[in-house]
Structure 1
Amino acid sequence: MNTVDTGELLNFQDYSPEHNERSARIDVEAVHTSQYNNSMSNPNYDFEEPKVTEEPATSPQSNHNFWTIQYYQKYFDVQTNEVVERIISSVLPQKVSRNYFDERIKGKPDLYGPIWIAVTLIFTIAVSGNIASYLQNTNKSVEWRYDFHIVSISATAIVCYIWLVPLALWAALKWTVHPDGQDEIETQASKSPTMISLFCLYGYSLSIYIPVAIFWTIQIFWLQWLFVMMAGFVSGAVLVFWLLPALRKSRYFIILVGCILGCHFLLAAGFMLYFFHTPQSSIKHFDVISSTLKPV
């Protein structure tokens, strides 16, 4: 058996560069030559385009269920300047165009502004109502305590008003239009406001009650009623001004206008009488009871 020198195996071997370049060149040329010959031998070959895998189309976000959170995302997609503009227009409608409701609110109603205004009004009434209660009991020999029930009572009243009154108005506008013809009904349906747009409109109409609730703490009876008349008239007039094209299509135009103004006056009067005003008879009755209970 031949012995192998392990030292030679571990050493690097030198090869001629000409031999290496020639071998590599021959191999590359042979490969290209064989590919060219195959393509020329079959000239009627078919070119196959690369297949693009199409991803399944996702369903649009607008087709969500009514009970899902994704359904209400579009009603909170609103800018700050739009909310401020709608608050100003709910108090000063002459600052915007006459068709502002049809152009801005009806096509893009939001719930962010109405919810923010409702929550702010709830806590404003709660704080201002307790301040008014404290001012009414300053000259009495009784320990004054903060009334936390004002928060729950005001929240119930405001939430019910924002949701139930627009719902009733939407139903009234839907079922009291003039059935003169198919074209007329289609025109009325296009001009009648949607339920969400009415919720948005009524929510913004309560913005004037936030500063008025602060002024109601002034314990002057005629001044409190003056703020009631002003707040009810301004907010109700803005609603009638924006909904006038739809209200004219109803056969009960005068009744609907009277109901809109009357509900706003009742809301303002209820706020003032329940949270900010104490009748003089109850004050005198309390004074008589406190005087009888004093020790002689």
Structure 2
Amino acid sequence: MSNVHTGELLNFQDYSPEHNDRSARIEVEAVHTNQYMSNPNYGFEEPKNVDEPEAAPQAGNHNFWTIEYYQKYFDVHTNEVVERIISSVLPQKVSRNYFDERIKGKPDLYGPIWISVTLIFTIAVSGNIANYLQNANKAVHWRYDFHLVSYAATAILGYVWLVPLALWAALKWTVVPEGQDEIETQVSNTPSMMSLFCLYGYSLSIYIPVAILWTIQVSWLQWLFVLMAAFVSGAVLIFWLLPALRKSRYFPIVVGSILAFHFLLATGFMLFFFHVPSTGDIPVSVGSSTVKV
């Protein structure tokens, strides 16, 4: 064993980084080369380009005239529809900010469409029942009036779409800006067109049971139902839209218009479909004879 001086062992040795990197790289390359050369089944394959899946189109970028645009307005659960129907009749059952928290951010058209269709057929059927009861003791051959369905559909669908559109335009152009810093806040508090369609559709739910009660042939009771339905339906709308209505420079006129249109709708339903005609001597021909009723 050769003698090594202790001083040489304690001295630091100078190793060049370039020499170390080069030798390490040569050793690694030699190992891989020997491994592949010793394997007779080795074949070089060029790496294949893997096609990355295309990003899915973002929801909400669909055109207004496409069906995909309206799919989000029918994405609603049954319990949400029931909750909104109850809130349209009894707003105290839900929180004060229910419109801002649940309806304004996620309006739906599923509930309003079914409520409108149900109300159309309820009024048509109840109107014919009321007409039958009015002529039950008269010598008149009664027939079902199928035209009541088209009349009710025209009135209800026109009301549900035109009146919210007019209210949306009124709120859009009559909101008073208090300052440049508050414009964005005011715009966010103003309900969208779809949220108004949703609100007005649900507000008609009170008329479904009232349309059945209108078949009772008592004049003062029918008018009581008119006032009750118009007041409840209009008051719920004002209750939900009050923060936005207060920003309008025509606040009393807008509130009065909401109640007036609901009263006109209820009055039109009652007078056209359920009104008891005044009694008098009206000649009705039955066969060859004429009977006064």
TM-score range, shorter chain: 0.7 to 0.9
Local SS of the residue matching 2:121: helix
Look up the match of 2:258. 260
Look up the match of 1:220. 218
Matched, 1:293 2:270: no
Letter in 2 for 1:36: Q
Structure-2 separation of matches of 1:33 and 1:103: 64
Local SS of the residue matching 1:293: strand
The number of aligned residues is 253
Cα deviation, residue 94, structure 1: 0.2
Structure-2 separation of matches of 1:234 and 1:137: 32
Q: Which of 86, 94, 97 lines up with 1:99 in the alignment?
A: 97
Cα deviation, residue 75, structure 1: 0.3
Q: Name the TM-score, length of structure 2 as normaliser.
A: 0.82
Q: Which of 179, 186, 205 lines up with 2:184 in the alignment?
A: 186
Local SS of the residue matching 1:284: coil
Cα deviation, residue 52, structure 1: 3.9
1:225–1:52 distance in 2 versus 1, CA, 3 Å: same
Letter in 1 for 2:72: K
Once the two structures are superposed, the pairs formed by residues 50-199 of structure 1 within 5 Å of their partners are 52-199=50-197
Q: Write out per-residue CA displacement over residues 16-37 of structure 1, whole angstroms, 9 at most, x where no aligned residue.
A: xxxxxxxxxxxxxxxx998427
Q: Which has the higher helix share?
A: 1
Q: Write out per-residue CA displacement over residues 74-132 of structure 1, whole angstroms, 9 at most, x where no aligned residue.
A: 00000000000000000000000111000000000000000000000000000000000
Structure-1 separation of matches of 2:192 and 2:33: 75
Structure-2 separation of matches of 1:198 and 1:33: 72
Structure-2 separation of matches of 1:66 and 1:285: 57
Structure-2 separation of matches of 1:103 and 1:242: 11
Look up the match of 2:280. 284
Cα deviation, residue 38, structure 1: 4.6
Matched, 1:36 2:5: no
Is the CA contact (8 Å cut-off) linking 1:137 and 1:144 kept in structure 2?
yes
Structure-1 separation of matches of 2:84 and 2:136: 40
Local SS of the residue matching 2:209: helix
Matched, 1:251 2:223: no
Is the CA contact (8 Å cut-off) linking 1:178 and 1:251 kept in structure 2?
yes
Q: Which of 182, 202, 209 lines up with 1:204 in the alignment?
A: 202
Is the CA contact (8 Å cut-off) linking 1:224 and 1:272 kept in structure 2?
yes
Is the CA contact (8 Å cut-off) linking 1:93 and 1:238 kept in structure 2?
yes
Look up the match of 1:229. 227
1:36–1:239 distance in 2 versus 1, CA, 3 Å: same
Local SS of the residue matching 2:177: coil
1:294–1:101 distance in 2 versus 1, CA, 3 Å: closer
Q: Name the TM-score, length of structure 1 as normaliser.
A: 0.81
Local SS of the residue matching 2:248: coil
Cα deviation, residue 180, structure 1: 2.5
Is the CA contact (8 Å cut-off) linking 1:178 and 1:185 kept in structure 2?
no
Where does structure 2 lack aligned partners over 5 or more consecutive residues? Answer: 1-30, 39-45
Structure-2 separation of matches of 1:260 and 1:174: 16
Letter in 2 for 1:208: I
1:54–1:37 distance in 2 versus 1, CA, 3 Å: closer
Q: Write out per-residue CA displacement over residues 169-193 of structure 1, whole angstroms, 9 at most, x where no aligned residue.
A: 0000000011332222221101000
Moved more, 78-87 or 49-58: 49-58
Cα deviation, residue 57, structure 1: 1.5
1:37–1:126 distance in 2 versus 1, CA, 3 Å: closer
Structure-1 separation of matches of 2:285 and 2:150: 30
Q: Which runs of 4+ in 1 moved over 3 A?
A: 32-35, 48-52, 288-292
Is the CA contact (8 Å cut-off) linking 2:139 and 2:291 kept in structure 1?
no
Structure-1 separation of matches of 2:261 and 2:285: 39
Q: Write out per-residue CA displacement over residues 28-65 of structure 1, whole angstroms, 9 at most, x where no aligned residue.
A: xxxx99842759xxxxxxxx987543122121232111
